[in-house]
Structure formats: C-alpha cells, structure tokens
Amino acid sequence: MWTNIIQSLSGVWRSVQTIYEQIDLIKVAQVYIQKTRAVLGQMPEQANRLIHFLNTKTSEELQALDIRGRTGTILDIKRVLTMRTLMKNLDRIC
C-alpha cells in the first residue's frame, strides 16, 4: 500500500514542481514588466507623435533637420511601440 502511495505522490510531485517553477517565472516576468513600464514611460505616445511628424514633412524639411532616411527613422521609433506591445502581451499572459 505504501509503495502505491509513494508512486502516486512521485507522479504528482513533478506537476507540483512545474507549477512552482511557473509561479517563479511569472514573478520574474512581472518584475521585468514593471521595469519596462518605467523605462518606456511616455515614450509610446511620443513615438506616435514623432511618426506623424515625420510623415508630414517633405524630404527637404527632413534633410534640414538632419534626418537622412524617413523609413529607417520610423522603423527605429517603432521599436518603442513593439516593446510596448510585447510588454502588454506578456502582462496579459501573466
């Protein structure tokens, strides 16, 4: 009888360990989510404004501002928006 109990607990124990590992990973993820929020701050809103600004200027106006490539600059700015989206998705999953 004890052998059966020990075997049953042994099978369940792996699941319990997995649950605790997942809980620890969620705690770590939540810390990174908070850090990312702090780093991003108002950057996503500013990124949207910058993209709008860049899209309303002519090539000559951008050159006067020392902006060489509109597309490359917008892609760099969109990294902020991508980071925000990833953070929100991770937060939702957690």
What pTM value is reported for the model? Answer: 0.67
Q: Which of 52, 51, 40, 20 is nearest to 88 (CA)?
A: 40
Supply the pLDDT for residue 27: 94
CA distance 55 to 19: 48
Instruction: Please check whether residue 80 is in contact with residue 40, taking contact to mean a CB–CB distance below 8 angstroms.
Output: yes
Q: What is the pLDDT of residue 5?
A: 77
Give mean pLDDT in consecutive 10-residue pieces for the chain, a chain of 94 residues: 78 86 93 92 94 93 90 94 92 89
**What is the residue extent of each domain of the chain?**
2-93
Integer CA distances (angstroms), 56 to 35, 51, 52, 59, 82, in order? 33, 9, 6, 10, 22
